[in-house]
Amino acid sequence: MDQRILDILEQLTLEEKAGLCSGADMWNTKSVERLGIPSIMVSDGPHGLRKQPDGMDNFGLHHSLPATCFPTASALGSSWNPSLIREVGEAIAQECLTQGVSVLLGPGINIKRNPLCGRNFEYYSEDPYLTGEMATAFIKGVQSKGIGTSIKHFAVNNQENYRMTIDAVVDERALREIYLLGFEMAIKEAEPWTVMCAYNKVNGTYASENKKLLTDILETEWNYDGMVMSDWGAVNDRVEGVQSGLHLEMPGGGLDNDKKIVEAVKNGTMSMEVLDKAVAKLLQLILNGESNKDTKASFDQESHHQLAIKAAKDSAVLLKNENGILPLTKDKKKYALIGDLAVHSRYQGSGSSLINPTMIDSVYDAFTEKGIDFQYAKGYDRIDGKTDLDLVYEAVEQAKDSDVAIIVAGLPALAESEGFDRDHMKLPLNQTELIKEISAVHDNVVIVLVGGAPVEMPWISEVRGLLNLYLAGQGIGSAAVDLLFGIHNPSGKLAETFGKTYEDYPSASYFPEGPATVEYRESIYVGYRYFDTAKVEPLFPFGYGLSYTTFRFSNLVLSEREIDENGTLEVSVNVTNSGDRPGAEVVQLYVKDTTSHVFKAEKELKRFQKVFLQPGETVTCQFELDRRAFSFYNVDMEDWCVISGEYEILIGSSSRDIFEQSIVKVLGKEFQMPYEGKNIPSFLTPPYPFKAQDREFAIVYGKSLPSKATFPGEEFSYDSTLKEISSTFVGKKVHDAIIKQITRPYREMEDENAVVSKNMMKKMIPNHPLRSLAISSNGALTFGMLDGLLLILNRKRIKGTGKLIKETIRNKVQ
Ligand code: BGC
């Protein structure tokens, strides 16, 4: 340990140490002036900086300083381009330096288990390997500038409904192979300064006090020596948390938990060594942050805007291009640009990642600025979702009068957000109807899709072009025009499977669950791992994306025919641009286990490379496969194991477009095979639609399934949510008063972000447990007051009222 830290530890009092373990307020760590320990600032992220100079909320309503809004992770993940993501990370870090922020709260890397998770727009992929590569690049980019990152949300936070209390019931194999792998890769490879724990429980224990996750896996297995902070309000039992490896509690403001730490050391529940360890991690972070501050830093808004445009272009995915309707040409054509979202182009999500962009060019603005001959019709209202026949009529008329009708459609801001999950996978009815009406009268319809996650497309066979921009950031308009008109050749690939209908997804019957538990019954069969294994035809497969040029794969060569499990296999393959435009292809390497000793996905992505090629140019892509590329997590051995046998090496441009393949024999050691002789047909041959019986899932889970019973349990507790306590008279009053209080400042606000955030709060706050409300109240609601309230709720009204009054007065006096 750094001598300076040892010296400081010696001089700190117990109270100061405990105090350092929680923030000073919403965004800053505490300082200790007498020892010259400064405070450093952390801020959201992750697709741009959200520094709030004057506010205490973490939901995006308060003003934040202008910053470049880059494409969100669902878009960036589709670029399959780590160097681009690194560049974006560097640019965001430069903005952090300029604004005096030391740690950016991102990247968010949870797996897209189900397309309806409200926060999928903030995550990269359904595939853990791709996620790990993207996260590594982002962290390296940010940290190369001396700004820390906070990889989040560790772990298994894949649903927003009930996120603060739900128990994610996930089998060990899926945990390791799907939900932890991205974290493992990025933590080992990029060493993020901090890790942010998730809100939820993982197999019965809150992530904020989960020793297995925070100490056994993160610290011991992965050798992580950075700092772990809580998600905002995620702490349950603070002392248990420190002992399990949670160093910093955020946000700060209340003193209750600091006092609990002091008490625990005094009464011997926790040793001083454990506390010193947490404080040392924190001091290290503060010293790193402080020494990297650069008061002279600045950034160039225009060049960052240009980078945002470049990132949007590299991330967009061309999903359909029938008879080469795209690219469009600027001359001699009349275009109809249709859709409310063309003018109010949705370019980012909402919640804690909401950014105040430095500038924004909508699709409409970019069409105008780039001199395109077009007529505009609104077509639908993006907010109310109701079909307006006048708008439809006008749009149809404009479309008839054009050579090509370009409809900008997509998820409205109210549909997807942090804090709650989507109700369904459909576009608003008024958009679906508009697309149908226009395609009924026009042969040349191109859809430009915006939104953070997949939607069903019942109209897909009726349109000729489909360009998916995801949430493309503040350069959305320029990017759209350059892509549509072929100034830039699309090269994005889906980082998630687009199913034909929601029911096609393996977790469809098990999402969102709650309030007590969510069972990950599909185990490892997430995304293409299920679609490909169960042979379910997707609308668009994982890894898929078109280009205006064509590519050819050839000459797959493996360095060996047989390797020992500890050996490495060199793989090379040629890719040629066989068309007539420069373009980029993503060469994807999948491994297929043919041994069939343990249930496995049909194939798994193990490597990829994005290559930029001139027409006629050929490059040789080289990959190296090591032991982990052939391993699975053996729950009996508690280790990664390689089954001896033949593995196919598959090269393609999506999980369904495989062009080259070859076989290697891998020699592994003998070991105990898990699930042997167990009757688990749904895992051996996953059915459609996916269902696993209780009995089968319990076998894979390795123990009996936890109860789904919820409140009314014995008694109300700190963990009871506002919604739960509202079943009582007093609880209902408290519930209403808190919702009113939280939404009050925004009641008069009319702008769209405020409407969206208010909606998010209304859906989210009732699911907040009382403990979290206390932590986030900046000291206004103490745990002492909560004790009084709980006595009242638990029918000890007189005692409770007395306590509540006493604690309220005490809080005021303090
Ligand atoms: C989110 C985090 C975010 C934090 C601070 C939480 O609600 O889950 O991702 O970093 O707030 O805004």
- pLDDT tens for 113-129 read 999 999 999 999 999 99
Q: Does one domain contain both 663 and 738?
A: no
Name the residue type at position 613: L
Six token digits for residue 455: 């939607």
Question: At which of 669, 686, 707 does a domain end?
Answer: 669
Q: Does one domain contain both 485 and 556?
A: no
Q: Does one domain contain both 556 and 416?
A: no
- What whole-number distance in Å separates Cα of residue 759 and Cα of residue 749? 12
Tell me whether residue 384 is one of the annotated catalytic residues.
no
Q: Are 395 and 368 in contact (CB under 8 A)?
A: no
Q: Does one domain contain both 387 and 484?
A: yes
For residue 395, is pLDDT > 80? yes
Q: Does one domain contain both 615 and 731?
A: no
Mutation pick for ligand 1 pocket among 47, 57, 352 (CB with most ligand atoms within 8 Å): 352
User: What is the Cα 233 distance to its own chain's centre?
Assistant: 18
Q: Does one domain contain both 411 and 557?
A: no
- pLDDT tens for 564-582 read 999 999 999 999 999 999 9
- pLDDT tens for 686-730 read 999 999 999 999 999 999 999 997 755 679 999 999 999 999 999
Ligand 1: atom nearest CA of 108 is 9
Quick check: is 340 in a domain? Answer: yes
Q: Are 136 and 119 in contact (CB under 8 A)?
A: no
What size, in residues, is the chain? 814
Quick check: is 372 in a domain? Answer: yes
CATH number, domain with residue 362: 3.40.50.1700
Quick check: is 769 in a domain? Answer: yes
Cα(96) to centroid(ligand 1), Å? 17
Quick check: is 304 in a domain? Answer: no
Six token digits for residue 640: 């990664």
Buried b (16+ CB within 10 A) or exposed e, 227-259: bbbbbbbbbbbbbbbbbbbbbbbbbbbbbbbbe
Look over the chain and give the mean of its residue pLDDT values, rounded to a whole number: 95
Q: Predicted confidence band at 359 (pLDDT cuts at 50, 70, 90)? A: very high
Say yes or no: CB of residue 105 within 6 Å of ligand 1.
yes
Q: Would you call 670 helix, strand, or coil by DSSP?
A: coil
Q: Would you call 225 helix, strand, or coil by DSSP?
A: coil
Q: Does one domain contain both 330 and 477?
A: yes
* Neighbouring-strand partners of residue 570: 624
Tell me which DSSP letter residue 357 carries.
B
Six token digits for residue 344: 């109010």
For residue 57, is pLDDT > 80? no
Predicted local distance difference test score (pLDDT) of residue 813: 82
- pLDDT tens for 526-537 read 999 999 999 999
Smallest CA separation from ligand 1 atom 11, residue: 232
For residue 62, is pLDDT > 70? no
Say yes or no: CB of residue 149 within 6 Å of ligand 1.
no
Give the CA dihedral 653, 658, 661, 664, nearest 10 degrees. Answer: 80
Predicted local distance difference test score (pLDDT) of residue 711: 57
Quick check: is 405 in a domain? Answer: yes
Q: Does one domain contain both 339 and 448?
A: yes
CATH number, domain with residue 651: 2.60.40.10
Say yes or no: CB of residue 122 within 6 Å of ligand 1.
no
Looking only at the bridges linking them, the beta strands covering 201-202 and 205-206 are antiparallel
Output phi, psi for 767, to 5 deg.
-90, 10
- Domain holding 455, by residue range, is 317-489
Ligand 1: atom nearest CA of 58 is 12
| Residue of 204, 195, 282, 274 whose CA lies nearest to 230 | 195
Say yes or no: CB of residue 58 within 6 Å of ligand 1.
yes
What's the number of domains the chain is made of? Answer: 3
For residue 254, is pLDDT > 90? no
Percent of the chain whose predicted confidence (pLDDT) is above 70: 99
Quick check: is 707 in a domain? Answer: no
Predicted local distance difference test score (pLDDT) of residue 256: 93
Q: Are 406 and 338 in contact (CB under 8 A)?
A: yes
DSSP 148-169: EEEEEEETT----TTTTT-EEE
Q: Does one domain contain both 371 and 457?
A: yes
Cα(227) to centroid(ligand 1), Å? 17
Looking only at the bridges linking them, the beta strands covering 465-470 and 445-450 are parallel
For residue 371, is pLDDT > 60? yes
| Residue of 118, 93, 307 whose CA lies nearest to 192 | 93
Q: Is 565 exposed, middle or buried (0-12, 13-18, 19+ CB in 10 A)?
A: middle
Ligand 1: atom nearest CA of 157 is 8
Mean pLDDT of 559-564: 98
- What whole-number distance in Å separates Cα of residue 556 and Cα of residue 693? 42
- pLDDT tens for 736-787 read 998 888 887 777 777 888 888 888 888 999 999 999 999 988 888 999 999 9
- What whole-number distance in Å separates Cα of residue 800 and Cα of residue 792? 5
Question: At which of 669, 689, 705 does a domain end?
Answer: 669
Cα(58) to centroid(ligand 1), Å? 7
Cα(223) to centroid(ligand 1), Å? 25
Contacts (Cβ under 8 Å, ≥6 apart) of 515? 162, 165, 166, 710, 711, 721, 767
Q: Does one domain contain both 644 and 752?
A: no
Q: Does one domain contain both 553 and 478?
A: no
Predicted local distance difference test score (pLDDT) of residue 751: 81
Whole-structure pTM value = 0.97
Cα distances (angstroms) measured from residue 450 to each of 29, 357, 408, 445: 37, 18, 7, 16
Show the CA angle centred on residue 680, arms to residues 676 and 686, nearest 5°: 125
Question: At which of 465, 489, 513 does a domain end?
Answer: 489
Q: Predicted confidence band at 403 (pLDDT cuts at 50, 70, 90)? A: very high
Looking only at the bridges linking them, the beta strands covering 194-197 and 148-154 are parallel
- What whole-number distance in Å separates Cα of residue 126 and Cα of residue 496? 5
Quick check: is 208 in a domain? Answer: no
Selected catalytic residue, list 127, 231, 276, 593: 231
Quick check: is 801 in a domain? Answer: yes
Angle between helix 128-143 and helix 181-190 axes, rounded to 10 deg: 30
Q: Are 111 and 179 in contact (CB under 8 A)?
A: yes
Q: Are 496 and 527 in contact (CB under 8 A)?
A: yes
Give the CA dihedral 261, 263, 267, 273, nearest 10 degrees. Answer: 30
Predicted local distance difference test score (pLDDT) of residue 55: 60
Q: Does one domain contain both 595 and 744?
A: no
Six token digits for residue 67: 């910053």
